Amino acid sequence: MAEKNFVLINARITFKNIPLHKLAHFAFKDVSVARESFMKIKDVSECVIIQTASRVEAYIVMNRPKGDIPDGRRLDGQNLVINKIQETWIANSELEQWDIEHFDQTFEVYVNTDVYEHLLRLACGLDSLVIGKEEILNEIKDSSQTAKSTKHSGRILNKLFDSTIRIATTIRNSSKVAENTLSMGDVAVKMAEENAGIDGKKKVLLVGTGETAGMVAKTMNKKGYAFDVTSQLIERATDFSKILGGNPVEFVDVLTGFDKYSIIIVAATADYFIITFEKIKRVMKNYKKGMLILDISDPRAIEETVTKIPGIKLLFRDQITEMDDEKLMEALKTKVSSVESLIEKEVPILEAAMKNLEPEQVVKDVAASVDTIRERELQKALSKLGLKDKKRIKIIEELTKSVAESIVSVPTKTPEPESK
């Protein structure tokens, strides 16, 4: 039997390469079923999936003959491995035809060292939607624990995730990267609370479905605030709401019902004014209440002339960030730099620890998995046969054990040459 080693693969789609409102299409319908599907790919022995509002990632272990490492930059690696992962991903999600045809443009695949570095960065909060937030570390812990409980994570991924969580916790504690961390969403919601007050009587509208809008939605959800969400395409608002909450509303209905909102947070990505004085002047003609509009878009998406309407208070992104403590932002940059330096030192240590996993122990783990399957299938067969004779049952059981042991047994030492 050829000596084998393991290859770590990370396949992912995140908010960095696809709009948040589209991410719902790439999410797995059932994460447990998706893990099981990846495990059916030839040579795959373990799988952990991290699925959140801002990312879908699969961590896969493949047992390969030494020297045969799947590489997305090699044609044979693509044909043998990546295509199978893509096919499995597509089969377990609800992608539209356009997404399937352009799947390779949003899909990222990395192996070994790149996987260690990415998972450490993620656990430390550097690759999160909000830098430093503790939430992603808890999501990683939950994902690993769930895979352990279903036996989809074994010796290799258990070691990887346990080590990463331990290292990231140490780095987080020493760098204080999570302290006083504020996203643009946190700042916008804070400004709304301080300037208008958010309660059950005041209707709140979020305009936009991009990355910044996602930050606002996460903060709103964390605080338990209800809100409507809109985009110039209702499909975007609907997809966004599936993963980040909010009640989707047609943009045209927003314009005709503009006066029913007390707080409007605009986080659009358009390069023109999507809300102007002319578009809302009629519906706001007899407006008597107060309205706070926070435009955190870059560039601005609200025409400043809307302030001609009595009762409207408009704040732009630059005004909001000026009110926020700039010292906090500078402190965060320093913390991020410190965390990156610590990660750079830890990656080779983690990689060395992973390489030291004994092949013999991997074989033992495979043997244990085979025995579990053997026992399960044996019980199914005995139930169908309806056997009662203990002696016959014993003979069949010994036979299945012998077959299983023959399949997984490999020499752990070089055999002595036969004497002539």
Q: Which residues contact 221 (CB under 8 A, 6 or more apart)?
A: 244, 245
Same domain? For 78 and 54 the reply is yes
Q: Look at residue 359 in the predicted model and tell me its pLDDT.
A: 54
Average pLDDT, the chain: 84
Tens digit of each residue's pLDDT (9 = 90 or more) over 300-331: 999 999 999 999 999 988 777 665 555 666 77
Report how far apart, in Å, the C-alpha atoms of 196 and of each of 58, 71, 319 are. Answer: 42, 54, 16
Q: Is the pLDDT of residue 123 over 70?
A: yes
Task: Classify residue 126 as exposed, middle or buried by CB count within 10 Å of its CB (0-12, 13-18, 19+).
Answer: buried
Same domain? For 129 and 73 the reply is yes
Same domain? For 69 and 171 the reply is yes
pLDDT band of 394, cuts 50, 70, 90 = confident
> Last residue of a domain, which of 109, 144, 179?
179
Q: Is the pLDDT of residue 73 over 50?
A: no
* Residue range of the domain that includes 317: 184-323
pLDDT band of 205, cuts 50, 70, 90 = very high
pTM: 0.68
More confident residue, 96 or 264: 264
Same domain? For 152 and 196 the reply is no
220 lies in some domain? yes
Measured CA to CA, the distance from residue 88 to residue 82 in angstroms comes to 10
Measured CA to CA, the distance from residue 81 to residue 9 in angstroms comes to 10
Same domain? For 89 and 171 the reply is yes
Same domain? For 175 and 304 the reply is no
Same domain? For 131 and 101 the reply is yes
Q: Which one, of 257, 265, 260, 255, lies nearest residue 193 by Cα?
A: 265
Measured CA to CA, the distance from residue 29 to residue 92 in angstroms comes to 6
145 lies in some domain? yes
DSSP string over 298-339: SS--B-GGGGGSTTEEEEEHHHHHHHS-HHHHHHHHHHHHHH
Same domain? For 170 and 136 the reply is yes
What is the count of structural domains for the chain?
2
Strand (E) or helix (H) holding 230? strand 228-231
- Burial letters for 81-94: b for 16+ Cβ neighbours within 10 Å, e otherwise? bbebbbebbeebbe
Same domain? For 12 and 148 the reply is yes
Same domain? For 232 and 247 the reply is yes
412 lies in some domain? no
Tens digit of each residue's pLDDT (9 = 90 or more) over 259-280: 999 999 999 988 889 999 999 9
345 lies in some domain? no
Tens digit of each residue's pLDDT (9 = 90 or more) over 129-172: 778 778 899 999 999 999 999 999 999 999 999 999 999 999 99
194 lies in some domain? yes
Q: Which one, of 292, 209, 205, lies nearest residue 254 by Cα?
A: 205
Same domain? For 148 and 75 the reply is yes
304 lies in some domain? yes
The CATH number of residue 309's host domain is 3.40.50.720
The CATH number of residue 16's host domain is 3.30.460.30
Strand (E) or helix (H) holding 213? helix 211-223
Same domain? For 133 and 230 the reply is no
> Last residue of a domain, which of 179, 212, 240?
179
